Amino acid sequence: MISYVIANIQGLQFKLFENKYVFVPHLPFDLGKKILLNKILFFYKKGIIHIGTPFLEKINVNIEVLQHIKGKKIIVFKKKRRKGYKVKNGFRPIFSKIKVISFSEKK
C-alpha cells in the first residue's frame, strides 16, 4: 500500500509520497539541506487515516532541497477600457525541487 501525507508548505497544501519529487514555492534553504516538516494535515498508511485538527503532532516529514529553479513566465496585463491605459508586466516565479525522504511517526 502507498502511504502519503497532505502537508502545509508556505500556506499551500501538497500531497507528498515517499521517494517522490515535488516543486514547491521557493524555500529559503541551501541545496542538499534536510528539513523536517511538522504542519501535516492528513496522513494515510495501510488503510488507516489520521486527520489533524488542524495539524497532526505525531507525524513529521523529512525532505531534502535538491535545486532552485525558475518557472515559466507569467504575464500580468492590466487595462482600463476607453481610457487608453494598458500595462503589460511579467515575472518568472522561483520554485524549489524537494524530495520526500521519509515519514516519521512519534509514538
> What domain count does the chain have?
1
Q: Is the predicted pLDDT of residue 105 greater than 70, yes or no?
A: yes
The DSSP letter of residue 20 is -
Range of the domain at 45: 4-67+95-105
Flag whether 99 is in a domain.
yes
For 11-42, how does the pLDDT look when each residue is reduced to its tens digit (9 = 90+)? 999 999 999 999 999 999 999 999 999 999 99
Q: Kindly provide the residue ranges of all beta strands, DSSP E only, lying in 18-73, ordered along the sequence.
A: 21-25, 34-37, 40-45, 48-56, 59-70
- Does residue 15 fall inside a structural domain? yes
pLDDT (tens digit per residue) in 58-89: 999 999 999 999 999 999 999 999 999 999 99
- Within a domain: residue 51? yes
